[in-house]
């Protein structure tokens, strides 16, 4: 992996675009479309430019590094399940008894020496070029602006290295970084992240906090940056375990933080604990804009880089994106770490259209009544799993968790209102649906039991049901029923929202013999015939405590919330591409998409 570009040419079917393209919107739009294709590839943009500033950059932009499962597995050098097996074996290690057992354990113990990062006493390739503070200019880097309403350009694949005040703990996280000007970056470390905990220490001590941001190098560094390691554990330990070799680190020039020697670009600086600045908006991986909010600011002291650096970036927005494949690897690798707190857990899956933390599917061995509910509380109480909003549990005889059609049918045949748990807990910093930031509703579904006995009493066709609903309320515009062969068919209705949907649900109670589960969405920007994006919309838009009702049928209000719902926060907008940019890219032959593609993935408003 020393030459990532050559490696991607040899192993990843690298797509190279030599056409000059703008870092504002054009390059991100191309990457956004590419990664949604079934045969998506990594892309190298060799001639990034900034039209508005008249800049021609001297370094290429590399995107979609984790473009598919195959290349993700190649980056690891093994299947992520093999990594998980190694972790599982370590967790189960017991003191050996007898000489033979001790001798047999020696190779495993000896290999663990490769886990720990090695601090080198000399400089690295990442420090071949040094830009002193007086000459620092972040405009020398091809930092992207992805969405039209973004607050500015953002570094989207920055490896952010921080350390605790006493220097005993180091952390690697992947946080977005907004460029304010030539030498300042907004530090979007969310309140629950390790870097934010370190920041609190410096703030209490009244000291500036050192930060070093790395870009590029071995793609596994990037994956490690988003891995949900326990608090206080340096993510480079995980790198050493996967690679079976020490991460080689060199000291930053202006602070005591160590970073990998072979990254492409290093940005060093300090954060003043007394200074914040408005960061955002930013079209995030939820598919929505995160709103303006004050965050700490990093003042850049120096920038170092390789002689021929490559600028790595990612694009975030509506699924599917490359975080689908990074998340897949994370799921597999961290399964053994979940089992100690849920020992009868068999497997789990966090679908990308559930935006990972919004939906988890789990298969378990049930041993007693309430076992699934016990697992729900365990999940909601540990590490980053505590951010999961909706958890659905099935038994060991359920279909495989990635067999979505069969699994959905299995769940709907076992959906018992008495086994649905609605509670409250912590939610992700990016969650917009809860009435209060950081705290919101949680939904747990126990579908581990036998099939329920009764289904819908009198199933109607879509047209018949629509006619009946429109007689009750003319604001119901469309009806589409899914899984009508199950005991709990899903009836999705699109509405022109003019009041609280609770009032509509009460009106529709008289149709209860025709409905198993009712899901309400806005007509605007939703395709009632696209279940993939409907799941994305629903799990993003609901707070279970407010938006889920269980009587007389299960109903879910997945409309955008406003004053009708007692919602007083600002509701964010969707991430949409800029039509003129798509049209220009299409004319140049850079992209090739049709109206079906545009609508399927919600690229433009409709």
Q: Report how far residue 69's alpha carbon sits from residue 80's, in angstroms, rounded to the nearest whole number.
A: 10
Mean pLDDT of 2-10: 90
Residue holding tokens 């490690």?
224
Q: Report how far residue 307's alpha carbon sits from residue 322's, in angstroms, rounded to the nearest whole number.
A: 28
| 205 class by beta-carbon count within 10 Å (0-12 exposed, 13-18 middle, 19+ buried) | exposed
Helix (H, G, I), strand (E, B) or coil at 45: strand
Do residues 287 and 364 both lie within one domain? no
Do residues 257 and 347 both lie within one domain? no
- What Cα–Cα distance (Å) separates residue 78 from each residue in 327, 362, 421? 16, 24, 39
Do residues 69 and 202 both lie within one domain? yes
Note the pLDDT of residue 252. Answer: 97
pLDDT digits (tens, 9 = 90+) for 131-146: 999 999 999 999 999 9
pLDDT digits (tens, 9 = 90+) for 310-355: 999 999 999 999 999 999 999 999 888 888 888 899 999 999 999 8
Beta carbons of 187 and 175 less than 8 angstroms apart: yes
- What Cα–Cα distance (Å) separates residue 84 from each residue in 16, 217, 347, 388, 393? 34, 24, 12, 22, 22
Note the pLDDT of residue 99. Answer: 65
Residue holding tokens 């170092």?
304
pLDDT digits (tens, 9 = 90+) for 435-458: 999 999 999 999 999 999 989 999
What confidence tier does 517 reach under pLDDT thresholds 50, 70, 90? Answer: very high
Across all residues in the chain, what is the average pLDDT? 93
Last residue of some domain: 255, 282, 313? Answer: 313
Beta strands 21-22 and 476-482 are unpaired
Domain assignment present for residue 187? The answer is: yes
Going 98 to 99 to 101 to 107, the CA torsion angle's sign is positive
Per residue, the 3-state secondary structure of 93-156, as one string, reads CCCCCCHHHHHHHHHHHHHHHHCCCEECCCCCHHHCEEECHHHCCHHHCCCEECCCCCCCCEEC
Q: Report how far residue 330's alpha carbon sits from residue 7's, in angstroms, rounded to the nearest whole number.
A: 22
Task: At 289, give phi and psi (nearest 5°).
Answer: -75, 135
Checking if the pLDDT of 3 tops 60, the result is yes
Last residue of some domain: 397, 413, 447? Answer: 447
Mean pLDDT of 476-505: 97
pLDDT digits (tens, 9 = 90+) for 185-226: 999 887 766 778 888 999 999 999 999 999 999 999 999 998
Q: Report how far residue 530's alpha carbon sits from residue 522's, in angstroms, rounded to the nearest whole number.
A: 14
Q: What is the largest CA-CA distance in the chain?
A: 82
Do residues 258 and 364 both lie within one domain? no
Checking if the pLDDT of 228 tops 90, the result is no
Do residues 580 and 602 both lie within one domain? yes
Domain assignment present for residue 371? The answer is: yes
- Other beta carbons within 10 angstroms of residue 9's beta carbon come to 14
Q: Report how far residue 148's alpha carbon sits from residue 603's, in angstroms, rounded to the nearest whole number.
A: 13
Closest CA to 4 of 54, 70, 71, 58: 71
Do residues 361 and 468 both lie within one domain? no
CA dihedral 559, 465, 552, 453 (to 10 degrees): -120
Task: Quote the tokens at residue 201.
Answer: 């220490």
Beta strands 48-50 and 21-22 are parallel
Please give the residue that has the higher pLDDT: either 313 or 167: 313
Give the Cα-Cα-Cα angle 186, 189, 194 (nearest 5 degrees).
Answer: 145
Beta carbons of 311 and 265 less than 8 angstroms apart: yes
User: What CATH number is given to the structural domain containing 484?
Assistant: 3.40.1670.10
Task: At 95, give phi and psi (nearest 5°).
Answer: -55, 130
Q: Which domain holds residue 410?
A: 323-447
Q: How far apart are the first and last CA of the chain?
A: 43
Do residues 144 and 72 both lie within one domain? yes
Do residues 16 and 131 both lie within one domain? yes
Helix (H, G, I), strand (E, B) or coil at 300: strand
The count of structural domains within the chain is 4
Closest CA to 518 of 415, 594, 371, 598: 415
Least reliable range by pLDDT among 232-236, 323-327, 577-581: 232-236
Q: Report how far residue 209's alpha carbon sits from residue 522's, in angstroms, rounded to the nearest whole number.
A: 45
Task: At 6, give phi and psi (nearest 5°).
Answer: -65, -40
Task: Give DSSP secondary structure letters for 26-37.
Answer: HHHHHHHHHTTS
Helix, strand and coil content of the chain, in percent to the nearest 5, comes to 30, 25, 45
Task: Give DSSP secondary structure letters for 335-375.
Answer: HHHHTTTSTTEEEEE--GGGTTTT-EEEEE---STTHHHHH
Checking if the pLDDT of 129 tops 70, the result is yes
Give the Cα-Cα-Cα angle 92, 93, 94 (nearest 5 degrees).
Answer: 115
Q: Report how far residue 56's alpha carbon sits from residue 47's, in angstroms, rounded to the nearest whole number.
A: 7
Note the pLDDT of residue 37. Answer: 95
Whether the predicted model's global pTM rises above the 0.85 cut: yes
Beta carbons of 301 and 269 less than 8 angstroms apart: yes
Beta carbons of 409 and 485 less than 8 angstroms apart: yes
Do residues 57 and 132 both lie within one domain? yes
Q: Report how far residue 554's alpha carbon sits from residue 559's, in angstroms, rounded to the nearest whole number.
A: 16
Checking if the pLDDT of 2 tops 80, the result is no
Note the pLDDT of residue 378. Answer: 87
Domain assignment present for residue 295? The answer is: yes
Note the pLDDT of residue 206. Answer: 92
Q: Is the peptide bond before 128 cis (omega within 30 degrees of 0)?
A: no
User: What CATH number is given to the structural domain containing 183?
Assistant: 2.30.110.10
Do residues 363 and 502 both lie within one domain? no
Do residues 166 and 90 both lie within one domain? yes
What confidence tier does 93 reach under pLDDT thresholds 50, 70, 90? Answer: low
Q: Report how far residue 288's alpha carbon sits from residue 428's, in angstroms, rounded to the nearest whole number.
A: 14
Residue holding tokens 């070799």?
245
Domain assignment present for residue 453? The answer is: no
Do residues 366 and 270 both lie within one domain? no
Domain assignment present for residue 454? The answer is: no
């Amino acid at each position: 992996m020393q030459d990532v570009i050559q490696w991607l040419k040899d192993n990843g079917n690298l797509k190279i675009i030599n056409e000059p393209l703008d870092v504002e919107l054009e390059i991100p739009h191309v990457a956004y479309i590419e990664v949604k294709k079934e045969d998506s590839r990594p892309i190298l943009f060799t001639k990034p430019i900034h039209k508005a500033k008249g800049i021609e950059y001297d370094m290429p932009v590399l995107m979609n590094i984790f473009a598919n499962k195959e290349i993700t597995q190649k980056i690891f050098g093994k299947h992520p399940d093999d990594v998980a097996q190694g972790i599982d074996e370590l967790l189960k290690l017991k003191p050996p008894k007898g000489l033979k057992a001790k001798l047999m354990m020696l190779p495993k113990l000896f290999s663990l020496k490769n886990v720990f990062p090695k601090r080198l006493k000399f400089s690295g390739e990442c420090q071949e070029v040094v830009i002193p503070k007086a000459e620092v200019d972040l405009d020398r880097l091809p930092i992207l602006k992805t969405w039209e309403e973004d607050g500015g350009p953002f570094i989207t694949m920055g490896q952010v290295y921080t350390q605790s005040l006493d220097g005993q703990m180091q952390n690697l996280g992947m946080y977005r970084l907004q460029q304010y000007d030539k030498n300042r970056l907004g530090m979007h470390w969310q309140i629950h992240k390790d870097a934010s905990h370190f920041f609190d220490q410096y703030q209490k001590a009244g000291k500036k906090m050192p930060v070093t941001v790395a870009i590029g190098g071995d793609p596994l560094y990037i994956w490690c940056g988003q891995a949900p390691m326990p608090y206080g554990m340096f993510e480079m330990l995980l790198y050493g375990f996967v690679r079976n070799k020490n991460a080689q680190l060199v000291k930053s020039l202006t602070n005591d933080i160590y970073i990998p020697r072979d990254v492409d670009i290093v940005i060093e600086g300090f954060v003043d604990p007394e200074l914040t600045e408005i960061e955002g908006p930013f079209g995030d991986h939820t598919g929505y804009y995160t709103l303006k909010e004050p965050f700490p600011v990093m003042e850049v002291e120096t920038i170092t880089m390789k002689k021929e650096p490559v600028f790595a970036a990612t694009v975030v927005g509506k699924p599917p994106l490359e975080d689908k494949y990074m998340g897949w690897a994370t799921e597999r690798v961290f399964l053994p770490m979940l089992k100690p707190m849920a020992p009868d857990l068999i497997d789990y899956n966090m679908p990308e259209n559930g935006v990972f933390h919004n939906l988890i599917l789990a298969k378990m061995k049930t041993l007693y009544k309430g076992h699934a509910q016990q697992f729900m509380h365990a999940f909601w109480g540990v590490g980053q799993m505590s951010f999961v909003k909706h958890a659905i549990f099935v038994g060991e005889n359920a279909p495989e968790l990635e067999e979505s059609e069969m699994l959905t049918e299995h769940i709907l045949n076992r959906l018992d209102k008495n086994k649905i748990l609605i509670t409250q807990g912590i939610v992700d910093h990016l969650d917009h649906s809860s009435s209060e930031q950081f705290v919101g509703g949680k939904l747990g579904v126990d579908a581990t039991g036998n099939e329920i006995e009764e289904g819908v009493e009198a199933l109607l066709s879509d047209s018949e049901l629509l006619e009946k609903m429109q007689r009750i309320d003319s604001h119901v515009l469309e009806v589409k029923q899914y899984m009508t062969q199950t005991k709990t068919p899903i009836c999705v209705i699109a509405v022109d929202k003019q009041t609280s949907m609770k009032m509509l649900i009460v009106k529709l109670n008289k149709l209860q013999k025709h409905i198993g589960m009712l899901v309400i969405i806005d007509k605007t920007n939703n395709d009632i015939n696209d279940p993939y994006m409907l799941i994305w919309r629903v799990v993003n838009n609901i707070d279970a405590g407010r938006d889920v009702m269980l009587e007389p049928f299960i109903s879910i209000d997945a409309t955008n919330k406003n004053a009708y719902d007692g919602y007083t926060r600002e509701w964010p907008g969707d991430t949409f591409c800029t039509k003129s940019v798509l049209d220009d890219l299409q004319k140049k032959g850079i992209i090739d998409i049709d109206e079906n593609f545009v609508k399927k993935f919600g690229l433009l408003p409709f």
